[in-house]
Amino acid sequence: MTDGEIIGALQRGRADGADCLWLGGGEPTLRKDIFRIAAMGRRLGYTRVKLQTNGMMLSYPGYALRCADAGISEVAFSMKGAVATTHDRIARTEGCFDLMVAGVERARETGLALEGDLFITASNAAELPAMVSLGVAWGMRSFRVWLLSGVDATRDDPEVRAEVPRMRDVVPRLVAAMKAHAHLGADFLMSLHTPACVLPEAQHGALFDAAAFGMRVVNPGGHAFDLADSPMEGGTFLPGCAACRHRPRCNGLRPDYLARHGAEEFQPVP
């Protein structure tokens, strides 16, 4: 994004009442002006500035401190496995797990709040509970679970389609992670792509309401949209969904998921 696009987006967000700035991507730490952007957000009145990152740059001495000095208040680390072999394979970068671990340590020492963004695929779903436990050991107290999507340019890639995880493989691991760390509260973990009909009632604290979340996404070129309108957050409803008691706050189903795995897992709740 250009300077003009960034400044315009920040100003529009504040004018509309936004008070949390989420710097993601891509990988935002590749921008040499990331600290200036964070500081600009603070000056405009954003009370929280979150950095969503692979964590590698934070492994370098002084980088976490520069984040804090610029006004970044929290760091969400993208975790792709509970062990280096899995994480590095999915990230396609050898050694990136160890760099992330070092980055987490430096961020914690600096006093930045730590979060975990768990990127779940068909081949790492079994590691989900261990990923949460690892993050808790590192000092993370909140997590978001993102399921690999085949939406957009990657939808025709057979390798990507094969890695779109099934709900029936993810949900039991999600439940196990929540039960293991129930002391953190009912909503310490948020699952963005699992509708209410596939989650046990006891784990509904993990439900994500994209519309209530109120996030506006701004991309290069100035293209902006509400997160709730993204096909990655659902938007497709089956005929039986109208009778489901969770319909009023349901984001719907992802079209790429239905194309890959079908609809048999989704049953309306009377």
Mean pLDDT value of segment 3-30: 95
* Beta-bridge mates of residue 189: 143
Is 23 in contact with 48 (CB distance < 8 Å)?
no
Q: How far is CA 172 from the centre of its chain?
A: 19
- 248, pLDDT greater than 60: yes
Distance CA 163, CA 100 (A): 23
pLDDT at site 72:
98
Mean pLDDT value of segment 152-159: 67
* Beta-bridge mates of residue 101: none
Percent of the chain clearing pLDDT 70 (strictly above): 98
Distance CA 196, CA 213 (A): 16
Which residues make Cβ contacts (< 8 Å) with residue 269, sequence separation at least 6?
196, 197, 244, 245, 246
Distance CA 238, CA 253 (A): 8
pLDDT digits (tens, 9 = 90+) for 27-36: 999 999 999 9
Which residues make Cβ contacts (< 8 Å) with residue 13, sequence separation at least 6?
21, 46, 216
- 91, pLDDT greater than 80: yes
The answer as to whether 266 is a domain residue is no
The answer as to whether 196 is a domain residue is yes
Which residues make Cβ contacts (< 8 Å) with residue 156, sequence separation at least 6?
none
- The CA radius of gyration of the chain, in Å to the nearest whole number, is 19
pLDDT at site 269:
94
Residue 231: which pLDDT band, with cuts at 50, 70 and 90?
A: confident
- 116, pLDDT greater than 90: yes
Distance CA 252, CA 196 (A): 10
pLDDT at site 160:
84
Mean pLDDT value of segment 225-238: 91
Name the residue range of residue 191's domain. 3-261
Mean pLDDT value of segment 136-161: 85
pLDDT at site 155:
53
The answer as to whether 124 is a domain residue is yes
Residue 89: which pLDDT band, with cuts at 50, 70 and 90?
A: very high
Structure tokens at 153: 């340019």
The answer as to whether 270 is a domain residue is no
The answer as to whether 239 is a domain residue is yes
**Average per-residue pLDDT for the chain:** 94
The answer as to whether 65 is a domain residue is yes
Distance CA 118, CA 8 (A): 31
- 77, pLDDT greater than 60: yes
The answer as to whether 269 is a domain residue is no
- 110, pLDDT greater than 60: yes
Q: Report the number of distinct structural domains present in the chain.
A: 1
pTM of the model: 0.94
Mean pLDDT value of segment 29-45: 97
pLDDT at site 222:
78
Residue 120: which pLDDT band, with cuts at 50, 70 and 90?
A: very high
First to last CA, the chain: 46
Which residues make Cβ contacts (< 8 Å) with residue 81, sequence separation at least 6?
87, 88, 89, 90, 97, 124, 127, 131
- 154, pLDDT greater than 70: no
pLDDT at site 37:
97
pLDDT at site 232:
85
Is 129 in contact with 169 (CB distance < 8 Å)?
no
pLDDT at site 32:
94
CATH number at residue 32: 3.80.30
Structure letter (DSSP) for residue 263: S
Structure tokens at 26: 């891509």
The answer as to whether 28 is a domain residue is yes
Is 174 in contact with 204 (CB distance < 8 Å)?
no
